[in-house]
Amino acid sequence: MIGSENSPNRVTVTIMDRKFEVVCPPEQIKELHEAARHLDQLMRQTRDASNLVGIDRIAVISALNLSHQLIDIKRNNNDAIHDMSDRINKLQERVEQTLSDEL
């Protein structure tokens, strides 16, 4: 349906002083702007730290940095989930042992 509340909008974001038009659902516009600001900041930091000139190279290095961060976060989350699962299993064993001792 044209013009419905959930139909995608064209949104303009600015990254490294360049404007990009992106199709985005209305409920995600705020997050899109936040992501664009984050990417702009990261790309500027990458450029300044490495003296890279081409925006393509800056974008690729920034994407690699973001991918590395995402992999680290996923790995840490998986470790935390595994630790919590172990704790829950041990607690469940203790509860079961306590209940069986009472019978």
**pLDDT tens digit sequence for 63-80:** 999 999 999 999 988 888
Given 3-state DSSP classes, what are the helix, strand and coil percentages for the chain, each rounded to the nearest 5?
Answer: 70, 15, 15
Asked if the structure places residue 23 within a domain, the reply is: yes
State residue 39's pLDDT score.
96
| Six-digit token string for 39 | 């990417």
| Six-digit token string for 95 | 């509860």
Q: How many structural domains compose the chain? A: 1
**Domain hosting residue 76, numbered range:** 9-102
Give, as one character, the DSSP assignment of residue 26: G
Asked if the structure places residue 30 within a domain, the reply is: yes
CATH of the domain at 69: 3.30.160.880
Asked if the structure places residue 21 within a domain, the reply is: yes
Asked if the structure places residue 4 within a domain, the reply is: no
Asked if the structure places residue 89 within a domain, the reply is: yes
pLDDT value at 11 more than 80: yes
Asked if the structure places residue 3 within a domain, the reply is: no
Reported as a single tens digit per residue, the pLDDT across 23-70 is 999 999 999 999 999 999 999 999 999 988 899 999 999 999 999 999
